[in-house]
């Protein structure tokens, strides 16, 4: 019977994939298994707006060729939902009741789009943009030159809005809190940034004046497919409605695992949870910051990638601390474009 | 003529003798079986027979379902709205791999809402005893105890300081969660069997107040159920150390006082930004009331995190839907005033999570040097309540935590003086208070009568066939409909949850596994064909050498084996079994029987 260690990575995004590759490099004899809810192998979510430029072939989005995982001896379990982690038996339990034992576990399940609870009744009338499948669905629902109503306005949405405008669609943004997530913007700076959005062609309605969204409804026959009612009585008609209110960590399956959770998994600077065999990396974890004296999230491609690599190194013997190398300032370029360094990737 | 191809239970049912074939058992193994295998009932502080009342909903027998509830707790319509739902946390349907727990609490409300308007209440009355019992406090513990003691035939008088009965249910829970007409009807039903209710009558040591010593002299027993009405002070440092901000700042309120004043009819106001400190139902209620009073920003500040607070997930979700924000890992350490001397905001310290407290809650450990400030216009503190004893003119012994000390008989150190509910056990949930009130009522009855007149046994009744279909296992948990958000946040009285309609309720009720059904294999008739094992959807049928029994009669470890020559029995592991009935249908020799096992109170 093999005595090789079994490293399990939950999640196949930037953090999880980087961790799996690092684990394979550093522990060649080990078993590495990556478990993902996605039906596709690791693909580049930053490129999803390209579906509106006509790119609909999933293979073009893959970061690694499909054969890569076999060559690297990384077990890839796609379309698997983790139901829980049994720390007593040191096994993860999948929704179909399969238990997979692990020696070390990395949780890199990332975040899912947050829809404010007051809008939860209207989920079925809104389109998400968190996965390739969702991107294709919304692209198919949107007629050429159609009208997208965005609610919220995080940087994922604003990045998409830029592509939509460039490709001939119309975008109305109902800018609520937290606009520009994950950047924290000073109240005085917000009007200037909203003006920048207007200059690039986005129609902006500020919740500070319109009162926010009261309801999302099916459009009347013959009119646009959706109608958004604002609290000041204004109606906005659009072909699709898309919520962009930032991400919330996907931690539900960890609630019974006995590790500390606030909003995300709480980890020390070495990215270890309160269980010494369980680590976390990426958007799912809150890391202790000595400087700020609090647990905080670190976003951006560079940070997330560094976390994946560091967690893998620490799972295989190192004990290094996470240091952010990410510029967190929101910038406005000379042509009026809002640039988030979080979205820069190699 | 007995049919050898039928189980005994099938034969009993087929011949119409199921009822007569039922029997009661006091065998420890049967009692242990129910406690181990019906986790919802075991978790319920009132011991509600959950599977039985849910099954009645499937059969559209709402009145009977309501009466099963009422047999365990006297206020089903109330608890069906505001219960803390320990049963759902224990529900087998929520165990790993089984999906979400059954909406037990919502189904309790279904039974209350859908019973006929002329529904007949059943009560088991004992003959009058001539014993007189005084109860101080008409909250859930006092009312539950009064109800049971009146059934036992005693003359019961309740003394209530407030103008109306109900205690925390009336004065501590907002109307949008608990409509007062529901409370009124159920309180009336609980107390109408001869209980004398004297409201607006204070028991205490002040002038014109009735002394406890007088009650002890005039009654055979006295029960103190005065609740936990004094707010826990907020421990602050610096200039606020050992000072009560409520005395100095008009924008500082204690949560329970805030709610009680509102429900006594006072007009309450809050500022634009409201901060709530606390993690329980009172904190959540205060936050939701603040939204309804027009606050623009309402934030609940927690010492730990959302996952560690003792409130129902659905309540938390509804609070968030109403726009309430939750912020974790922070403890208030000081307050700041503005230039006018009004509250300007709260200074917090950042926490990290520590170990677990004995009460099952997480510890929060402040991080030195991590103080930060958050502005607010109103601060409501709801970090708990404590009981006070200044109304007593007698001196029962107190325990270390400051609560009155009681023995196993429920009696304090003073003969004839009993205590129940929050007053003796600290702030409880409504269902815990009701459960405790009933337990103490039984003990008071035993004390005044000199012997225990009722005890729990297990009623075992054969059932012919499985009552579930496999398809029921795939029904998702049904949501509780709610009033439109825009309408409900404009009113402190409009009920937020509007109740399930019949079709939805029955779908939800079908999800219950009916854990009170015991599936057993008659080893003498089993031919070890393994057909049941083949069809079982889970690892619930096992080949065993033997079964360990625990001291309390519950089933211990199963000694499983794969060696045929060691197999002593083929055993249905009722902890794994989801009562789908597939094994019964597959068995070629009908050796699997089903019996309904229920805890019942039996006269001794």
Query: pLDDT tens across B195-212, in order?
Result: 999 999 999 998 999 999
Compute the distance between CA of residue B486 and CA of residue B474 in angstroms, rounded to an integer: 34
Tell me which of A246, A276, A291 is where a domain ends.
Answer: A246
- The pLDDT value recorded for residue A1 is 44
DSSP string, A269-300: TT-B-SSTTEEE-GGGEEEEETTTTEEE---S
Instruction: Say how many residues make up chain A.
Output: 346
Structure tokens belonging to residue B429:
């949930």
- The pLDDT value recorded for residue A258 is 86
How far from A149 is each of A139, A202, A234, B558, CA to CA, in Å?
A: 14, 10, 13, 59
Percent pLDDT > 90 in chain B is 74
Q: Is B498 on the interface with A (CB under 8 A)?
A: no
In a domain? residue A276? yes
Number of domains in chain A: 2
Closest-CA distance, A279 to chain B, in angstroms, reads 17
- Considering the domain architecture, whether residues A73 and A128 belong to the same structural domain is answered as no
Cβ-defined contact of A214 to B317 (cutoff 8 Å): no
In this prediction, residue B13 has a pLDDT band, given cuts at 50, 70 and 90, of low
Cβ-defined contact of B329 to A262 (cutoff 8 Å): yes
In a domain? residue A335? no
- Considering the domain architecture, whether residues A233 and A132 belong to the same structural domain is answered as yes
How far from B104 is each of A333, B89, B147, B160, CA to CA, in Å?
A: 57, 10, 24, 32
Asked if A289 contacts A295 with a C-beta cutoff of 8 angstroms, the reply is yes
Residues of chain A contacting residue B367, judged by C-beta atoms under 8 Å apart: 293-294
* Average pLDDT of span B545-555: 80
- Considering the domain architecture, whether residues A240 and A265 belong to the same structural domain is answered as no
**Minimum-distance CB partner of B321 among A95, A120, A262:** A120
Give the chain B residue whose CA is nearest to the CA of A288: B352
Give the A:B interface size as CB pairs under 8 Å: 48
Cβ-defined contact of A83 to B96 (cutoff 8 Å): yes
Closest-CA distance, A272 to chain B, in angstroms, reads 14
Compute the distance between CA of residue B323 and CA of residue A143 in angstroms, rounded to an integer: 34
Range of the domain at A102: 6-110+250-315
N-term to C-term CA, chain B: 36
- Considering the domain architecture, whether residues A256 and A212 belong to the same structural domain is answered as no
DSSP state, residue B233? P
Cβ-defined contact of B305 to A288 (cutoff 8 Å): no
SS3 B409: coil
* CATH at A47: 3.50.50.60
Residue B221 has pLDDT above 90, yes or no: yes
Q: In what order do the strands lie in the sheet with A226-230?
A: A213-218, A226-230, A235-238
Helical ranges in A167-300 per DSSP H: 190-199, 207-210
Helical ranges in B401-429 per DSSP H: 422-425
N-term to C-term CA, chain A: 41
Degrees to nearest 5, angle at CA B78 with B73 and B83: 80
The domains of chain B, with CATH numbers, are 132-229+387-452 (3.50.50.60), 233-383 (3.50.50.60)
HSE of B92, CA atoms in CB hemisphere, 13 A: 21
Asked if B255 contacts B379 with a C-beta cutoff of 8 angstroms, the reply is no
How crowded is residue A81: how many other Cβ atoms within 10 Å of its Cβ?
Answer: 11
Largest CA distance in chain A: 69
Give the chain B residue whose CA is nearest to the CA of A177: B323
Compute the distance between CA of residue A120 and CA of residue B407 in angstroms, rounded to an integer: 50
Residues of chain A with pLDDT under 70: 1-3, 346
Residues 6+ apart with CB under 8 A from B217: none
Residues 6+ apart with CB under 8 A from B430: B75, B78, B79, B82, B83, B84, B140, B168, B169
Task: Spell out the SS3 assignment of B243-254.
Answer: CCHHHHCCCEEE
The predicted model scores a pTM of 0.87
In a domain? residue A340? no
In a domain? residue A330? no
List for chain B the helix, strand, coil content (%; round to 5).
Answer: 35, 25, 45
Among the residue ranges A170-179, B165-174, B182-191, the one predicted with the least confidence is A170-179
Among the residue ranges A274-288, B1-15, B405-419, the one predicted with the least confidence is B1-15
**Minimum-distance CB partner of B350 among A214, A215, A293:** A293
- The pLDDT value recorded for residue B19 is 59
In a domain? residue A336? no
Helical ranges in B124-176 per DSSP H: 140-151, 168-171
- The pLDDT value recorded for residue A161 is 95
* Average pLDDT of span B155-177: 97
Tell me which of A196, A223, A246 is where a domain ends.
Answer: A246
Residues 66-95 of A with CB under 8 A from B: 83-84, 86, 93, 95
Cβ-defined contact of B353 to A260 (cutoff 8 Å): yes
The yes/no answer to whether this complex scores an ipTM above 0.90 is no
* Average pLDDT of span B485-509: 94
- Considering the domain architecture, whether residues A159 and A181 belong to the same structural domain is answered as yes
Residues of chain B contacting residue A261, judged by C-beta atoms under 8 Å apart: 305, 307
Helix axes B62-72, B50-58, angle to 10 degrees: 170
Structure tokens belonging to residue A322:
């996470």
In a domain? residue A78? yes
**Containing H/E element for B356?**
strand B343-356
Calculate the average pLDDT of chain B: 92
How crowded is residue A298: how many other Cβ atoms within 10 Å of its Cβ?
Answer: 23
Asked if A47 contacts A144 with a C-beta cutoff of 8 angstroms, the reply is no
Q: Is B317 on the interface with A (CB under 8 A)?
A: yes
**Minimum-distance CB partner of A266 among B317, B322, B353:** B353
**Containing H/E element for B89?**
helix B86-90
Compute the distance between CA of residue A91 and CA of residue A104 in angstroms, rounded to an integer: 10
pLDDT digits (tens, 9 = 90+) for B349-392: 999 888 888 877 889 999 988 999 999 999 999 999 988 999 99
DSSP state, residue A261? B
- Considering the domain architecture, whether residues A150 and A238 belong to the same structural domain is answered as yes
Asked if B298 contacts B323 with a C-beta cutoff of 8 angstroms, the reply is yes
* Average pLDDT of span B83-112: 94
- Considering the domain architecture, whether residues A172 and A235 belong to the same structural domain is answered as yes
Tell me which of A227, A246, A265 is where a domain ends.
Answer: A246
pLDDT digits (tens, 9 = 90+) for B436-495: 999 999 999 999 999 999 999 999 999 988 999 888 999 999 999 999 988 899 999 999
Compute the distance between CA of residue B268 and CA of residue B260 in angstroms, rounded to an integer: 10
- Considering the domain architecture, whether residues A92 and A168 belong to the same structural domain is answered as no
Cβ-defined contact of A295 to B486 (cutoff 8 Å): no
In a domain? residue A287? yes
* Average pLDDT of span B104-126: 94
In a domain? residue A321? no
Residues of chain B contacting residue A288, judged by C-beta atoms under 8 Å apart: 352
* Average pLDDT of span B133-146: 98
- Considering the domain architecture, whether residues A236 and A152 belong to the same structural domain is answered as yes
DSSP state, residue B304? S
Task: Spell out the SS3 assignment of B537-603.
Answer: CCCCEEEEEEEEECCCCCEEEEEECCCHHHCCEEEECCCCCCCCCHHHHHCCCCCEEEEEEEEEEEE
* Average pLDDT of span B395-410: 90
- Considering the domain architecture, whether residues A122 and A242 belong to the same structural domain is answered as yes
- Considering the domain architecture, whether residues A122 and A161 belong to the same structural domain is answered as yes
How far from B422 is each of B137, B315, B412, B429, CA to CA, in Å?
A: 11, 22, 15, 8
- Considering the domain architecture, whether residues A98 and A130 belong to the same structural domain is answered as no
Calculate the average pLDDT of chain A: 92
- Beta strand A226-230 pairing with A235-238: antiparallel
Asked if B135 contacts B145 with a C-beta cutoff of 8 angstroms, the reply is yes
Asked if A91 contacts A291 with a C-beta cutoff of 8 angstroms, the reply is no
Q: Is A129 exposed, middle or buried (0-12, 13-18, 19+ CB in 10 A)?
A: buried
Q: Is A186 exposed, middle or buried (0-12, 13-18, 19+ CB in 10 A)?
A: exposed
Cβ-defined contact of B353 to A262 (cutoff 8 Å): yes
Q: What is the phi/psi pair of residue B295, to 5°?
A: -65, 140
- The pLDDT value recorded for residue B1 is 45
């Amino acid at each position: 019977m093999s005595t090789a260690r079994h490293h399990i990575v939950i999640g196949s995004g930037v953090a999880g994939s980087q961790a799996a590759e690092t684990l394979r490099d550093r522990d060649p004899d080990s078993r590495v298994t990556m478990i993902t809810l996605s039906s596709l192998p690791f693909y580049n979510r930053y490129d999803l707006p390209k579906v509106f430029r006509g790119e609909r072939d999933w293979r073009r989005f893959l970061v690694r060729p499909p054969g890569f995982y076999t060559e690297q001896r990384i077990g890839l379990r796609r379309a698997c939902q983790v139901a829980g982690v049994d720390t007593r038996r040191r096994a993860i339990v999948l929704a179909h009741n399969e238990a997979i034992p692990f020696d070390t576990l990395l949780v890199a399940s990332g975040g899912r789009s947050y829809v404010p609870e007051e809008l939860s009744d209207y989920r079925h009338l809104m389109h998400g943009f968190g996965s390739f499948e969702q991107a294709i669905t919304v692209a198919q629902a949107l007629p050429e030159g159609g009208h997208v109503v965005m609610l919220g306005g995080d940087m994922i949405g604003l990045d998409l809005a830029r592509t939509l405008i460039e490709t001939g669609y119309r975008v109305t943004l109902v800018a609520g809190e937290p606009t520009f997530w994950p950047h924290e913007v000073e109240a005085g700076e917000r009007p200037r940034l909203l003006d920048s959005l207007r200059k690039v062609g986005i129609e902006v309605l500020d919740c500070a004046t319109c009162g926010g969204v009261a309801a999302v409804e099916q459009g009347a026959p013959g009119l646009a497919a959706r109608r958004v009612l604002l609290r000041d009585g204004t109606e906005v008609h659009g072909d699709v409605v898309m919520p962009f209110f930032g991400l919330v960590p996907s931690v539900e399956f960890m609630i019974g695992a006995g590790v500390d959770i606030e909003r995300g998994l709480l980890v020390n600077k070495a990215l270890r949870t309160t269980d010494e065999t369980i680590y976390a990396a990426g958007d799912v974890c809150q890391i202790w910051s000595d400087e700020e004296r609090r647990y905080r999230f670190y976003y951006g491609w560079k940070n997330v990638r560094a976390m994946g690599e560091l967690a893998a190194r620490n799972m295989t013997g190192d004990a290094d601390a996470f240091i952010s190398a990410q510029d967190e300032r929101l910038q406005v370029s000379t042509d009026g474009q809002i640039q988030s360094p979080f979205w820069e990737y190699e | 003529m007995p049919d050898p191809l039928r189980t005994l239970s099938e034969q009993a049912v087929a011949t119409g003798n199921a009822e007569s074939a039922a029997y009661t058992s006091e065998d420890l193994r049967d009692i242990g079986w129910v406690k181990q295998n019906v986790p919802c009932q075991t978790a319920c502080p009132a011991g509600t027979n959950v599977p039985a009342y849910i099954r009645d909903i499937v059969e559209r027998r709402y009145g009977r379902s309501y009466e099963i509830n009422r047999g365990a707790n006297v206020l089903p319509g109330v608890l069906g709205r505001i219960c803390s739902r320990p049963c759902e946390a224990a529900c087998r349907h929520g165990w790993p791999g089984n999906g979400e727990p059954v909406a037990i609490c919502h189904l309790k409300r279904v039974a209350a809402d859908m019973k006929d308007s002329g529904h007949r209440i059943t009560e088991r009355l004992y003959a009058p005893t001539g014993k007189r019992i005084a109860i101080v406090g008409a909250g859930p513990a006092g009312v539950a105890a009064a109800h049971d003691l009146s059934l036992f035939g005693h003359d019961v008088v309740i003394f209530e300081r407030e103008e109306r009965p109900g205690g925390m249910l009336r004065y501590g829970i907002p109307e949008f969660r608990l409509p007062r007409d529901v409370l009124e009807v159920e309180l009336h039903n609980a107390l109408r069997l001869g209980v004398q209710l004297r409201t607006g009558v204070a028991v205490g040591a002040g002038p014109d107040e009735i002394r406890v010593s007088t009650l002890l002299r005039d009654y055979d027993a006295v029960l103190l159920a005065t609740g936990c009405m004094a707010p826990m002070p907020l421990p602050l440092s610096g200039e606020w150390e050992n000072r009560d901000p409520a005395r100095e700042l008009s924008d500082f309120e204690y949560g329970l006082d805030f709610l009680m004043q509102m429900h006594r009819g006072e007009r309450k106001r809050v500022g634009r930004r409201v901060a709530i400190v606390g993690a329980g139902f009172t904190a959540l209620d205060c936050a939701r009331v603040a939204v309804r009073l027009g606050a623009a920003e309402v934030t609940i500040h927690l010492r730990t995190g959302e996952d560690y607070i003792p409130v129902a997930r659905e309540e938390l979700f509804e609070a968030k839907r109403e726009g309430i924000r939750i912020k974790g890992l922070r403890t208030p350490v000081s307050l700041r005033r503005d230039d006018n001397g009004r509250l300007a905001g709260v200074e917090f310290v950042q926490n990290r999570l520590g170990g677990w407290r004995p009460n099952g809650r997480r510890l929060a450990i402040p991080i030195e040097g991590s103080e930060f400030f958050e502005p607010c216009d109103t601060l409501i503190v709801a970090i708990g309540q404590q009981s006070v004893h200044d109304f007593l003119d007698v001196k029962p012994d107190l325990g270390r935590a400051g609560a009155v000390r009681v023995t196993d008989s429920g009696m304090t150190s003073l003969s004839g003086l009993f205590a129940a509910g929050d007053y003796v056990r600290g702030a409880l949930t409504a269902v815990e208070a009701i459960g405790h009130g009933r337990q103490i009522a039984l003990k008071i009855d035993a004390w005044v009568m000199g012997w225990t007149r009722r005890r729990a046994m297990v009623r075992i009744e054969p059932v012919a066939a499985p009552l579930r279909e496999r398809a029921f296992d795939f029904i998702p948990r049904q949501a509780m409909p709610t009033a439109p958000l825009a309408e409900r946040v404009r009113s402190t009285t409009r009920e937020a949850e509007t109740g399930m309609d019949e079709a939805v309720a029955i779908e939800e009720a079908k999800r219950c596994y009916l854990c009170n059904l015991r599936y057993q294999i008659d080893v003498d008739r089993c031919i070890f064909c393994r057909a049941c094992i083949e069809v079982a959807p889970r690892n619930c049928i096992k080949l065993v050498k033997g079964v360990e029994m625990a001291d309390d009669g519950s089933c211990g470890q199963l000694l499983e084996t794969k060696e045929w020559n060691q197999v002593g029995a083929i055993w249905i592991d009722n902890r794994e079994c989801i009562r789908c009935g597939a094994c019964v249908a597959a068995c070629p020799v009908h050796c699997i029987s089903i019996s309904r096992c229920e805890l019942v109170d039996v006269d001794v």
